[in-house]
Amino acid sequence: RLLSHLAAKSVSSYVIFELRCFVSFLIWGLLFLFPSGTVEKLLATFDTALTAAYSQLVPVESLGHGNSASYPSSNTADWATTLTNLLDLLEVLTAARFKLSSTSVCFTSSRLSLVQASALLRIVDSHVHYFVKKQVLLLLKRILLQKAGEDMGFGEASSLTHGDDHMTSDILTLADDVLQAVHTDWLQCVPVESAAIFFGGTGQSCGGSSDAFDHVMLRAVSLVVLKSLEYKIQSAGVCNTIGIHGYLSALLLFLRQRGVQLKQGSHSCCWVSLVFGEQDDDMMEAAKALLLLYLHHRVSSDLEADAVCVVGGNPHCHFLFLLRNISFDHSILLDFLISTETCFLEYFVRYLKHLRDDWEGFRMVSPCLQPSLCLPSGSATALASTPPLRLVDYGSSEESETEDGDLPLGLTQDRLHSDSVVHTLNSHSFDRTVMCLTELRVVVTRLQRRSLFPYNATSLLKLLTQIEAKRCCSQH
């Protein structure tokens, strides 16, 4: 029976893969092979029908907390399939709008997932299958990240600044709908089931570990809230204050209630590493959004670091947890800088500027983070004992020559001890962070000098040098 089950799952996976390849090929052909204007004509033909279908298939009345929407035959597989197909169609329409980014493509049907997102949010609070609710949140997440349709062959979307005339306002409408829902305790209605632990099964693990819960769902909800806040503050301006703390508190409460277990006395800011640790691209998006939220709130109101840490929003803490998760290995940071799969470069530059301007804040935070209170059980040992996968093998090329002369005096001796002992996780975060950034600066300088770095890193190197200067000044 087990072999039969595995065979059936393998065949079904292959069929689904072939179908997706076929659909991706059709979409690619529609976009790039057919004459210009074909997509616009196709959307114009079905625009009215698609808009009418949307209004009939999703709840249209506003619901309060605890009042779930009801669908005809919503507990049947057929209805779930219908909603799933509708969500796929919405993603295709949104992706076409992002990709083509011309006013002529801005039909009503291509705006539905943004301007009527409140209806999609109500699906999560309805009696439909869990996987449909999950697909809704994943769709909203991809839209807010401007990644709708990437898995369908659409490629990268155009920037909002190059979109149609309604793009910016539609994104803000989506963000407002999400924040309004969070304000009315919508998060309490979002289910998070235990993750399947068998091949194709639905078994549940024991012991209440946070690993047993659906981290894909947790990441989707978190990013939907964070990106909505990011778009909101970008439109609000410096003078307007938004209750960021309230939204972050609601998100943190949701995560704790849904299985993200922070040990008693642990630092609240470690939730980012716990939720996003398995997905680098999502983690960088979350860290960047939280950094922007912090900078906005610091400018618009008096802000204490302790108050920010209570709701898990201190960017210094997030960066320290990131470094601890990679064992303060500068080569992994280099891999992130070279890779185009994450927004790490944008986040890193923004954070280095903040670190340069708030050096004392970083020095105050560093001693407060105890590794035993931040990392899950056994993770420190695993991180220290497992060699990281690297995009570039520096040990096999002449570019890997050690250039300790580029390291400031005082850090060279620290470097001799940093790579060999597991208990270095218990060392002062301040010194290890500066040492990691210094080693990164040395490697990037060497690569740029030999024209091996993929882009001009002059501005980045300038920031790293300024951080080293800050450290040297603080020693005197």
Looking at residue 206, what is its pLDDT? Answer: 46
Q: What is the pTM of this model?
A: 0.80
Half-sphere exposure of 310 (CA within 13 A, CB side): 11
**Is the domain of 149 the same as that of 224?**
no
**Is the domain of 263 the same as that of 154?**
no
First to last CA, the chain: 72
- Read off φ and ψ for residue 69, nearest 5 degrees: -75, 150
**Is the domain of 59 the same as that of 159?**
yes
Looking at residue 287, what is its pLDDT? Answer: 96
**Is the domain of 67 the same as that of 167?**
yes
What is the C-alpha to C-alpha distance for residues 135 and 372, in angstroms, rounded to an integer? Answer: 36
Looking at residue 178, what is its pLDDT? Answer: 97
CB proximity list for 126: less than 8 A, separation 6 or greater:
59, 68, 69, 70, 71, 74, 133
Listed residues 185, 219, 234: the one ending a domain: 185
Report if residue 320 sits inside a domain: no
Q: What is the mean pLDDT of residues 106-130?
A: 89
Does pLDDT of 158 surpass 70?
no
pLDDT in tens, 369-417: 655 445 444 444 343 444 444 545 544 444 444 444 455 444 444 443 4
**Is the domain of 135 the same as that of 23?**
no
Local confidence band at 267 (pLDDT 50, 70, 90 cut-offs): confident
Local confidence band at 104 (pLDDT 50, 70, 90 cut-offs): low
**Is the domain of 399 the same as that of 429?**
yes
When divided into structural domains, the chain yields a total of 4
Q: What is the mean pLDDT of residues 264-274?
A: 81
Task: Say what the alpha-carbon torsion angle 241, 245, 247, 249 is, to the nearest 10 degrees.
Answer: -170
pLDDT in tens, 222-233: 999 999 999 999
**Is the domain of 297 the same as that of 354?**
no
Does pLDDT of 202 surpass 80?
no
Report if residue 318 sits inside a domain: no
Looking at residue 44, what is its pLDDT? Answer: 80
What is the C-alpha to C-alpha distance for residues 311 and 268, in angstroms, rounded to an integer? Answer: 7
Report if residue 180 sits inside a domain: yes
Q: Are 276 and 219 in contact (CB under 8 A)?
A: yes
Percent of the chain with pLDDT over 70: 69
Most confident of 134-143, 264-273, 409-418: 134-143
**Is the domain of 240 the same as that of 376?**
no
144-171: string of b/e by CB count within 10 Å (b at 16+)? bbbbbbbebbbeebbebeebbebbeebb
Q: What is the mean pLDDT of residues 302-311?
A: 73
Report if residue 436 sits inside a domain: yes
Listed residues 279, 313, 347: the one ending a domain: 313
What domain range includes position 56?
A: 42-185
Does pLDDT of 13 surpass 80?
yes
User: What token pair was written down for 265?
Assistant: 């006395």
**Is the domain of 19 the same as that of 46?**
no
Q: Which helix (H) or strand (E) holds 447?
A: helix 429-449
What is the pLDDT of the chain when averaged over all its residues? 78
What is the C-alpha to C-alpha distance for residues 440 and 332, in angstroms, rounded to an integer? Answer: 9
Looking at residue 72, what is its pLDDT? Answer: 52
Q: Fill in the amino acid letter for 223.
A: L
**Is the domain of 340 the same as that of 283?**
no
**Is the domain of 472 the same as that of 336?**
yes
**Is the domain of 103 the same as that of 66?**
yes
